């Protein structure tokens, strides 16, 4: 399912053969559960070592921003760690912070001259962001960022679960 440079896939982001996969990270860059844990697990200790280096120099990564590390043992040579917001009811700038996390990821990929990028569903797991709202924000933010990143040829939204996959397919059809 595609639209411009966007496509939706159902599967495991850790197996994507793209220039970079995006990790739904926490601001401490310490790994965690969900997609974050899966990426650190599949990518091996090089990713955590790179995250520790960023923590030592920058103190982590603020919500709405992104940093890039090696992909370690993953098929993707890079991981972009994007920090999405925790849902607090919608009155704490969550929409703008989520959009910023997607836009910062695309901008970082463009800075590193990457051509292909795969996103998970940022903030919709334990962070509790409403899925339909998150899908709309993700697609709009990526489209906006791609307008400033002509070198990026393909962005994939990789959905591990059926509900997000269905939502992205509806929006991109």
Residues designated catalytic: 36
Alpha carbon of 52 to those of 22, 38, 46, 165, 171: distances in Å?
17, 18, 10, 33, 37
Query: Is residue 8 within a helix (H) or strand (E), and if so which, with residue range?
Result: strand 6-10
Alpha carbons 25 and 15: distance in angstroms, whole number: 18
**Where would I find the H helices in 16-152?**
34-43, 45-58, 94-111, 131-146
- Give phi and psi for 20, each to the nearest 5: -150, 145
């Amino acid at each position: 399912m595609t639209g411009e440079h966007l496509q939706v896939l159902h599967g495991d982001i850790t197996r994507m053969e793209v220039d970079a996969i995006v990790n739904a990270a926490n601001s401490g860059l310490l790994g965690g559960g969900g997609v974050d844990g899966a990426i650190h697990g599949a990518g091996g200790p090089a990713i955590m070592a790179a995250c520790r280096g960023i923590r030592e120099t920058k103190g982590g990564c603020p919500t709405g921003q992104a940093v890039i590390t090696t992909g370690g043992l993953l098929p993707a040579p890079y991981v972009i760690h994007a920090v999405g917001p925790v849902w607090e009811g919608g009155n704490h700038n969550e929409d703008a912070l989520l959009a910023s996390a997607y836009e910062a990821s695309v901008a970082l990929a463009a800075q590193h001259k990457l051509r292909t990028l795969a996103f998970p569903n940022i903030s919709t797991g334990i962070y509790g962001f409403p899925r339909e709202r998150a899908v709309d924000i993700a697609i709009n933010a990526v489209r906006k960022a791609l307008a400033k990143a002509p070198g990026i040829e393909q962005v994939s939204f990789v959905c591990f679960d059926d509900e997000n996959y269905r939502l992205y397919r509806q929006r991109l059809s």
